[in-house]
Structures are given as C-alpha cells and as structure tokens.
Amino acid sequence: MPAAALPSVLLPLLSLAAAAVADCPSSTWVQFQDSCYIFLQETIKVESIEDLRNHCTDHGADMISIHNEEENAFILDTLKKQWKGPDDILLGMFFDTDDESFKWFDKSNMTFDKWTDQDDEEDLVDTCAFLHITTGEWKKGNCEVPSVQGTLCKAANNHILISALVIASTVILTVLGAIVWFLYKRNLDSGFTTVFSTAHQSPYNDDCVLIVAEENEHAIQFD
C-alpha cells in the first residue's frame, strides 16, 4: 500500500470516530445537550429499584438524573409524546439515610429539584423520586414498587459510545500495523535484491584466468 493511500484509508475511520462522539447510537435514543436518553416502554416486574437500574445499565446508561429546568422541560415534553404509562415515572434518585439527603444514582451532583411536597418531618427511608408527566413536578414515593411500565434512562455521549470509539481506534491501529508491516517487507525484499545485484564480480572470465595460470606455470619451468 503506497503512503499516498494512507489518508484515504484513515479519513473514513476518523470520520466514524467523530460521528460517534457527536451523536447518540440510534434513532431510539433522544439527544439533548450533551446527553442521550432512551425510554424503555415495557412492563418490568421488579423486586427492588436495582432491577430498574440494571435495565438501564444493560443499555450502557443509568436511571435518569435532572439538573436544570430546561432538562426537566425537555423530558416532560418528550414523555408526553412517547409515554403511555401511568402519570408518574421513577427518577434515578434515592434518599441516602447516611447523609440524610437525596442523591442521584449516577453520582452526579444535586443541582436542581422540583418537589411538590416539602414535608421535612416525614420518614424518608426507602424513598425515591417520581416525575409527574403532566405537571413536571417531583414527588416522593416508596422505592419498592411491584412493577413499572417503563424506564427512563440517560447517558452522556462519551460514556455510552466509548465502545464505538474503542472499535474505531482498533480498526485504525490495525490498518496502521498492516501498512508498517507492508513497508517493512517491501524494504526487506528490496534490500536482498540490492545485495545480490551488487555482489563483487571478478574482472576476468574463466578463460582469462586459465591463460594467466598457464603463463605462470611456463615461467616457473624456465626459471
């Protein structure tokens, strides 16, 4: 493979990697800002909220976290178009009894809330958050639900598409390795040809050598 062909080989692969960073994996995902969202509309029997989380992590994501009014409004608008379940949907939030505070399962910071019920004296053990799909407000509820009719999952672009980048990088490295091996073999073969073509040859042919030998023999006899 000539060196001039290298850009034509790598450019499509680099374009693939760039596209992977820029977009969500497929049309089933919805993009907003730097995150991808997927609405898994199916009934799931659960024993704990971890079963719902596993449903998201199987898709390379986690249960949804919300960090500003714009994101909350986006989710609400998208849910109204796609959601056919009950009025409330679980968010990826739980009450941490050690810190006595609500936290997101994806470990992102709590920078926004939209609670409708602010009773600080209620028992919050096993408490999770639910999004009301009509008002967009949040309410507290028990994490232990027997079943849900769908899950809302979220992942950052670079997190969910890391496998695509790994694949693209692997292909690029494979192509580069093949090019280096090809050039090495070509130079190696060329080196052997040069060695054989430049080997030292005597300026005399066999007949000249024989005549010179006979003359030397006669000279010795006369001596």
| pLDDT tens figures, 52-74 | 899 899 989 999 999 999 999 99
Average pLDDT over the chain reads 76
Contact 114, 67 (CB under 8 A): no
Measured between alpha carbons, how far is 136 from 84 in angstroms, rounded to an integer?
16
89: DSSP letter: E
Higher pLDDT, 211 or 83: 83
pLDDT, position 44: 78
Query: Does residue 125 surpass a pLDDT of 70?
Result: yes
The predicted model gives 205-210 an average pLDDT of 51
Contact 116, 127 (CB under 8 A): no
Contacts (Cβ under 8 Å, ≥6 apart) of 62: 53, 56, 92, 105, 106, 153, 154, 155
- 144-162 per-position pLDDT tens digit: 887 788 888 999 865 545 5
| Confidence at 21, pLDDT banded by 50, 70, 90 | very low
Contacts (Cβ under 8 Å, ≥6 apart) of 32: 71, 74
The predicted model gives 200-207 an average pLDDT of 53
